[in-house]
Amino acid sequence: TLGTQTDYRDGEAQTDPYSPEYVVPSGSVPELLTLATLTWGRGLPAGLVEVEMIERAREKRAWEATLPAMDNASHIAKRRKMMEDMERKEWAFREQEIEKLQEVRLEVLKKLLQRREENQNELDAKRLDDHWQNHQKAKEEKIKKIQHDCALMIRKLIAKRKNVMGKLERRDIIKEYTDFASQTYAPLSRIGYFPDNHSERYVVKNFYLNTFAGLCELEASLPDSVTQVKIKAPKPKYTTTKTGFIKRSARLEVELAQVHQALLEKKSKVKEPKRPLRFLEKAEKPVPQLPTPVLEKPSIEEEETELAVICLQKLLRGRAIQNMMFEGKEKRLELIRELHTTTLTLQEDGQLLLKAEEQMTLAQEHQHDLQMHELSSVENHLAREEGRVLANMLDFLSKELVRLQEERKIHAFVMLAERQRRMREAEESGRRQVEERRRQEEDEIFKQAREGDCTIDSYLEDIILSSMENTAEEQAREEIQRMAVEINDIAYEMESRRTRLQSEEIVAELVYSFLIPEAEKMAMREKVRQSQRKHIFAAHRIIHRGTE
């Protein structure tokens, strides 16, 4: 009920605007009371919708004022017709509002559905990507396993191919010692060698570490600097500069030391026990409280009179403020109308801009959807082509593996057939030689049987020739044995007189005559194998390039 003046406006305060009380005189219905349902935050400050509502209320009041009186039948029929037209207009306006509300809700629902569809598409794309990644990992693991098995089978076939005929080979000691992957350097446990057995042989046993006497001797041999530690006192840090000022770090250290000392003193401080009273002390009495003032209760008539006067003051002040508001409104009516028109035009322009922005946004969203659709279609085509290429490549690899296996099998069968053919040829040649020898013997017997005129001279001649051959063979054997004994004696005598340099010369000649040619042969074979491998690799690369 009192007027106040502040340094701030109502718009700068975080409170609702003040609504004064009012009194409506009998017989008058002010237009301002029709807006009593509007409050701050719910219709106030007024916008385009509230202004349209006020205009409709004014039109309706003007229409109600033009309704004819109900004094005769014609006026009643006219009034009914006007009310029906007005009702149809109101229903049409209500339907328009419902349609607008439905359109707004439909737009919101479309946006929500679109957002949900985008989220679902992102989730599906993520799941497909994860699924594809899992398939890729499984495919890579299968390919690695196939390659590993292929390499293993090729190594086995190469190892079998080295000795297809099953011949026994002598141990090549030089080759084993030159190859660090041989059984000499890395024996296998399946052959019967277990490297974990007898591991105590490799434990280092030292006299100085395992015995007390060795430890004492080792300790006596150590210098004094090892057993007797010398600690040097640290030099004090310079806390002042050349010009005589104290450094900041020194000041901080001093402050920290003071704080630390204060904390230690506070912790080590012991509370002194309360001493007993030596003399009686006087207990002061509290100051007595003042008596509570008591108001005299006014009479009921005085209270009613005071309340009536207060109510009258409120009414007068409210009426005066209302009259001032009406006078100010009448004075600035043209300004209010101008503001209404400007707000309406600005709101219409804002709606047009909003519609244009909405159309632009919809067009951009449509274009983005088209781009996403095209991108998804391109990705689908790429994935299809990748799957087809991978399928063709895997098919080619599997067929190549089957072909290689069949080729190895056929080669093994050919080698076995060749071996059997050679064995049969050897048997057949042996039988043929036996038959030819038998035929020659029979021919000789038949020839000798036909020669009936053989004499004793020829017989004796044959005996003498055979005896001469036997004696010559015996003499040759004796001479060879005698010469071998003499050569052995000479070799033993030379070996006993031989020096280390002569031994090394002999070994070098043996190595030069036996090992170096063999190493050259192995190097030549390796070069031939490398050249063949280049040609094979080029052929495989051409084949794979054609398949890709």
Task: Report the 10 Å Cβ neighbour count for 35.
Answer: 15
d(CA 54, CA 61): 11
Domain positions in the chain: 49-149, 300-345, 503-533
Q: What angle do CA 346, 348, 352 make, to 5 degrees?
A: 115
What CA–CA distance (Å, rounded) separates 22 from 316?
A: 10
Read off the pLDDT of each residue in 47-58 and give the average, rounded to a whole number.
82
pLDDT of 76: 82
Q: Which comes out higher in pLDDT, residue 387 or 30?
A: 387
Residue range 116-165, pLDDT digits in tens: 999 999 999 999 999 999 999 999 999 999 999 999 999 888 888 877 77
Give 536: exposed, middle or buried? Use CB within 10 Å, 0-12, 13-18, 19+.
Answer: exposed
Distance CA 127, CA 104 (A): 34
pLDDT in tens, 170-196: 778 888 888 887 777 776 666 666 666
The SS3 of residue 43 is strand
Q: Please state, in angstroms and rounded to a whole number, the distance separating the CA atoms of residues 102 and 109.
A: 10
pLDDT score for 140: 95
Tokens encoding 163: 């000795």
pLDDT at 194: 66
Q: Does 83 have pLDDT greater than 60?
A: yes
What mean pLDDT value characterizes the chain?
A: 81
Percent of the chain with pLDDT over 90: 11
Residue 546: pLDDT band (50, 70, 90) is low
Taking only the tens place, the pLDDT of each residue in 492-514 is: 777 777 777 777 777 777 666 66
Task: Provide the token pair at 531.
Answer: 């050249």
pTM: 0.26
Beta strand segments in 116-257, E: none
Alpha helix segments (H runs only) across 39-72? 48-65
